[in-house]
Amino acid sequence: MKYKSLAVLPLLLVIMLLGPVCQAGNNYTRLDGSLEKFKSAFNADQGKARLVMYVSPTCGGCLRGAKLSQQNLLAKTDNPDVSAYVIWAPRNGAREKHVDRVLDLVTDERATQYWDSQGVAAEAYDAMFDIEGRPCAGVFMLYDTNAVWTDDDPPIPEYYEDAHAREFAQKAGPQFNATRLLERLRLP
Say which CATH topology domain 26-184 has.
Answer: Glutaredoxin (3.40.30)
**pLDDT tens digits, one per residue of 86-145:** 999 998 889 999 999 999 999 999 999 999 999 999 899 888 887 766 667 889 999 999
**Separation CA 48–CA 106 (nearest Å):** 19
pTM score, whole prediction? 0.83
**pLDDT tens digits, one per residue of 51-86:** 999 999 999 999 999 999 999 999 998 999 999 999
Domain ranges, ordered by start, for the chain: 26-184
Say how far residue 147 (Cα) sits from the centre of its chain.
18
**Separation CA 29–CA 148 (nearest Å):** 21
| pLDDT recorded at residue 128 | 87
Average pLDDT over residues 31-48: 96
Residue 68 backbone phi and psi in degrees, to 5: -70, -35
User: Taking 60 as the threshold, does the pLDDT of residue 24 lie above it?
Assistant: no
What are the CA-CA distances from residue 115 to residues 14, 56, 96, 143, 188 (Å)? Answer: 30, 10, 7, 21, 29
Average pLDDT over residues 16-28: 45
